[in-house]
Amino acid sequence: MERKVITMLDDFFVRAVLAGSMLALVAGPLGCFVVWRRMAYFGDTIAHAALLGVALALLFNLNITAGVFAVAVLVSLLLIVVQRRAGLSSDALLGILSHSTLAVGLVIVSFLTWVRVDLVGFLFGDILAVSKEDLLIIAIGGALILAVLGWFWRPMLAATLSVELAEAEGQRPELMRVILMVLLALVIAIAMKLVGILLITSLLVIPAASARRLSASPEQMALIAALFGVVAVWGGMAMSLNFDTPSGPSIVVGALILFLITLIVPANLFGRDVADGGLPHD
């Protein structure tokens, strides 16, 4: 049995589906916070900064995932510090950082004539090239993210709802925000290889947004988002296999189709009437 599982992992398609599913399970709950806190643009910025991480890692011959994670964390912390001082709206700051980190990354990569850089792979991902080692990194990173998220779930939610309230009742909402940013940096670092820098945020945002209308509580929304993410990965991979479409974008298209379906399905199918925000019919 064990041998059978291991030989299954020799199949690149199985590895791809497994990696994608694990990522989706993590991205769903984390993506809920991105949606609740309106951090979609922030996620995009960190993802773009990932290319700078790739460039620096190649330049100094470091592990790429580690390089991406380090740069992503640095940029998030930089944002927090600059936000307090610059007197600019965070929207403008994100606009500056998002595109300048991407541009600087691209410029550095263009100097690296001695390494062959698969730029398209970094930008759009190459889930079919996932190795067993990558799988292990995704499994460990994903488990770590879920563990931290589960452990801090309640204070993180309280911090999302009201910093003031959480503070007054003895919690540390600022710390929760930093933890959330580090988790985002981590998920981006492990997701880059699968769906690429330009599509990562969609895996965070779209399943969570799709789950909203069908959920009656934050916890339910996190679970449904994780489930939707997995379905999107399977659908996208099936599409990729049958029509020979690029897998990263196909997964995002899968997520989009799911989202569109949730718009059509009447929300009270699940016992809730969202139109008047009313009572569940139980």
Return residues touching other proteins (CB under 8 A).
Answer: 35-36, 38, 154-155, 157-158, 160-162, 164-171, 209, 212, 215-218, 220-221, 274, 276-280
CB of 217 to other proteins, least distance (A): 5
Residue type, 137: I
Among residues 3 and 281, whose Cβ is nearest to other proteins?
281
Q: Which residue has the tokens 């991979």?
A: 237
Among residues 150 and 280, whose Cβ is nearest to other proteins?
280
CB of 101 to other proteins, least distance (A): 27
Among residues 3 and 84, whose Cβ is nearest to other proteins?
84
Structure tokens at 198: 């330009």
CB of 3 to other proteins, least distance (A): 45
Write the DSSP symbol of residue 270: G
Percent of the chain that is helix, strand, coil (3-state, to 5): 80, 0, 20
Half-sphere exposure of 32 (CA within 13 A, CB side): 28
Burial of 81 (0-12, 13-18, 19+ CB in 10 A): exposed
Among residues 21 and 202, whose Cβ is nearest to other proteins?
202
CB of 183 to other proteins, least distance (A): 18
* Rounded-to-integer distance, Cα 234 and Cα 250, Å: 10
Among residues 137 and 211, whose Cβ is nearest to other proteins?
211
Among residues 17 and 221, whose Cβ is nearest to other proteins?
221
Torsion, Cα of 103, 179, 34, 65 (10° steps): 40
Residue by residue, DSSP assigns 115-135 as S---HHHHHH--GGG--HHHH
CB of 160 to other proteins, least distance (A): 7
CB of 282 to other proteins, least distance (A): 8
